[in-house]
Structure 1
């Protein structure tokens, strides 16, 4: 039995044992597909101790019993939200956005002008930096995009993050990686906050979605961004996700994944790695 206090970590005032951690990571795996290694035991404490206090439980064991009960369904969602990693920034992995602008956007413009419906998916959008980066890239190449049937679907498992996204407001520090000319065109500074323009926000639709659940979308996407998500899944879950993402792509569409991720060709034979790192194209 390992308690947090035995690990000499600060703030370990709420009883927390290895069995508690195992129960929590089993719930997280079942509900979200995310696998936590034993080294994440301190992280779970730091993320959830506040929830335990807010719910007025004396220890993690009582809290876990509650989230597993019928009356704890809502708190279980809060628990998963608290454990979801949300590390991101605007135009992260810049080469993907360069590829998108140079290779994908000409095709998008052509199809849109022919009257086609264009859909792009940011499948784990976190606090919104990725889909807003996509939106600015679209507008930079096609200023009249909002006059056509072009939409970016942005989804995330974390309800709280979806609320942040919908506001479209970020601190000046959070927006430092946005090119200055983009900020001048599509954002306004108000004190220490950056507010995105309606042109940017109108391109993006935010929805809550667990990638392991059935997907309600009926359309296929010309581009999908699913970056730094699969690294939290085990190999079996990863392969299932890659196949589903490939099925959701239009023939000739592009899938962007994280810098430490790789799709085995034997798992998804109908997509091919591109020269642009961690970029795959679905066969036509």
Structure 2
């Protein structure tokens, strides 16, 4: 056995460096996520569950399956299993304060003037970010549903998209929400808290791979793309920032993660704001 095919770790299924390398290449090709050497154990534990579910006996057979007969059905499930979904309501609160104080007043005026207003939660996970945007909109613009205002929430993981669309969250997931917000926008159930239909009407959930083509034609007043680019290499990051800037309307805003940064020389029309990790496109 060569070093390249040496066992990475012992476990239920044989797992070699070559297995990890092939899975790493598949994930990078299909969703741009770069899996470093520190992710070997994570890949083992998450893919092993898929191997069991498929009734297969080893990684080699599973890799052949997801690149062959199971490309359309199993490959998305493998990507879903590997991608990490960590989120909560009003995460990085300063972005929502900026949205409420700076973005929404102008957006309201444009909506009342008959313009279409769009916001995008581009890696929405199970929906907390999108509903936080919706609550900001409704808090500042109670009759928003009477205007052409929509929030698009997308993620590569179909399971979290389904959860977001349901709009139901456990008490633990809602622990940091104030009673005022829960009383205003949610109904308590035996399973947790569910968002009111009036607020859910603003949000549309769709599966979307950020590396593939985007169907949207109306430019966005604000785009949230936070803590996603950190999983990409520099080349993929730069392509993503350029594409996102192209989706913003003049004067629109892009919110990114606290550990992310857009190179100053990359997009001349985007400028950092006083609010951390917030960029404005030239009007």
TM range (shorter): over 0.9
Partner SS state of residue 127, structure 1:
coil
TM-score normalised per structure 1: 0.96
Higher mean C-alpha deviation, range 259-268 or range 71-80 = 71-80
The answer to whether the Cα contact below 8 Å between 1:52 and 1:60 also exists between their aligned partners in 2 is: yes
Matched residues in 1 for 2:244 and 2:39: separation? 28
Confirm whether residue 25 of structure 1 aligns to residue 24 of structure 2: yes
Cα deviations across residues 120-144 of structure 1 (Å, max 9, x unaligned)? 0000001101000100111111111
Counterpart of 1:104? 103
The answer to whether the Cα contact below 8 Å between 1:223 and 1:255 also exists between their aligned partners in 2 is: yes
Matched residues in 1 for 2:71 and 2:125: separation? 24
Aligned positions of 1:153-232 closer than 5 A: 153-232=152-231
Confirm whether residue 5 of structure 1 aligns to residue 6 of structure 2: no
The count of aligned residue pairs is: 279
Cα deviation for residue 191 of structure 1 reads: 1.8
Matched residues in 1 for 2:44 and 2:277: separation? 33
The answer to whether the Cα contact below 8 Å between 1:91 and 1:177 also exists between their aligned partners in 2 is: no
Confirm whether residue 84 of structure 1 aligns to residue 83 of structure 2: yes
The answer to whether the Cα contact below 8 Å between 1:271 and 1:280 also exists between their aligned partners in 2 is: yes
Cα deviation for residue 40 of structure 1 reads: 0.2
Gaps of 5+ in 1: 7-11
Counterpart of 1:9? none
Partner SS state of residue 111, structure 2:
helix
Gaps of 5+ in 2: none
Matched residues in 2 for 1:269 and 1:180: separation? 43
TM-score normalised per structure 2: 0.96
Counterpart of 1:15? 14
- RMSD (Å), alpha carbons: 1.0
Counterpart of 1:243? 242
